Amino acid sequence: MEIFQKLQEYHYEQLMFCHDATSGLKAIICIHDTTLGPALGGTRMWDYECEEDALTDVLRLARGMTYKAAVAGLNLGGGKAVIIGNSKKDKSESLFRSFGRYVQSLGGRYITAEDVGIGPADMDYVRMETKHVTGLEYHSGSSGDPSPVTAFGVWQSMQACAKEVWGKRELTGKTIAVQGLGHVGYYLCKHLYEEGANLIVTDINEENVQRVVDDFGAKTVAPNDIYDVDCDVYAPCALGAVVNDNTIDGFKCQIICGAANNQLKELRHGELLRKRNILYAPDYVANAGGLINVADELIEDGYNRERAMRKAGLIYDSIRKIIEISKREDISTAQAADILAESRIATIRGVKKVFVA
């Protein structure tokens, strides 16, 4: 990968490689854009096949966080961090404290939080070395697990799409195929079940599947069979790049709306969905509830759950705006979401040209 060419292409601000021989830390912190405010984004720990995969992942995720914050109306930029390692074997106090010192060295330009492979205990160690941490579960004033708010936002997004496709936002009687039954997937299933939707679910973790079957009476399919299930809505809540050349022709749904990041393998797949009359809720808009939740900690008077939920409820309006842009400009909803995000960033960048003493 030609790194500086990649940074220039998508206007990244900073890429930081972190290494500590004592703890074995190998991490990358990426700050994409801080026009709107400090970059906020979680840290994930993953056993990447190669270092270039880790770099590709952190670049994509950081840029997505910029757009997510922009569309959500937050005064935050986009950033992300990855720690290369096996989250089941390689964790230690020294590793996370070393990582925390690197976060602190950025002076508040990057604020971290939990992501895949990282838990509250890990972030407790990070917090020993830096104050630039959000979403901690066991600290006074923290917002705790963001999964319920993320799921709520996805549900609102799904209802916004339903309003467009079927003329009403209610999902009662609709069949929803949910892929991935972790915390977010579980809470999404709960909302859908309580609304009266029919659930078809899958997960590589059998315990997760059984929990949803027991609690919500869901039907199940094997993980590889979820892509061509006959349903009204396909909700990817696990892996990214699930909309690709191999899956796109098999979809038997009218809406794709889920919590997974980077659902389109390439931007062109959004256009292919449009041509198939499948309405796609751009992932970084639909799953912004978690970011909205932790961002509320940064408000001067401290975290307020009701305020965070109200803000997450506005995701419904954001999806409706994106649909209108898509129809007006005759473009995919993925392109429309980018336009909405870039417009806000450009506007605030212009405002900031005025000198303030």
Token couple for 120: 């509250």
From residue 298, how far is each of 196, 289, 303 by CA, in Å?
Answer: 36, 15, 7
pLDDT at 138: 62
37 in the Ramachandran plot: left (φ > 0), alpha (ψ -120 to 50) or beta?
left
Q: Enter the pTM of the model.
A: 0.90
Q: Is the pLDDT of residue 284 over 90?
A: yes
Question: 143-147, 150-154, 259-263: lowest mean pLDDT where?
Answer: 143-147
pLDDT at 143: 78
Q: Is the pLDDT of residue 293 over 70?
A: yes
Residue 119's pLDDT band (cuts 50, 70, 90): confident
For the segment 328-346, what is each residue's pLDDT rounded down to a tens digit?
999 999 999 999 999 999 9
Q: Is the pLDDT of residue 152 over 90?
A: yes
For the segment 208-237, what is each residue's pLDDT rounded down to a tens digit?
999 999 999 999 999 999 999 999 999 999
CA distance 25 to 31: 19
CA distance 102 to 23: 13
More confident residue, 173 or 117: 173
Residue of 26, 68, 80, 91 marked active site: 80
- Contact 65/12 with Cβ under 8 angstroms? no
pLDDT at 353: 80
pLDDT at 348: 94
Q: Is 80 a catalytic residue?
A: yes
| DSSP H helical ranges for 110-261 | 120-127, 147-166, 183-195, 206-216
Domains of the chain: 3-61+77-127 (3.40.50.10860), 147-288+315-343 (3.40.50.720)
- Positive or negative CA dihedral for 288, 293, 295, 301? positive
CA distance 281 to 254: 11
For the segment 247-262, what is each residue's pLDDT rounded down to a tens digit?
999 999 999 999 998 8
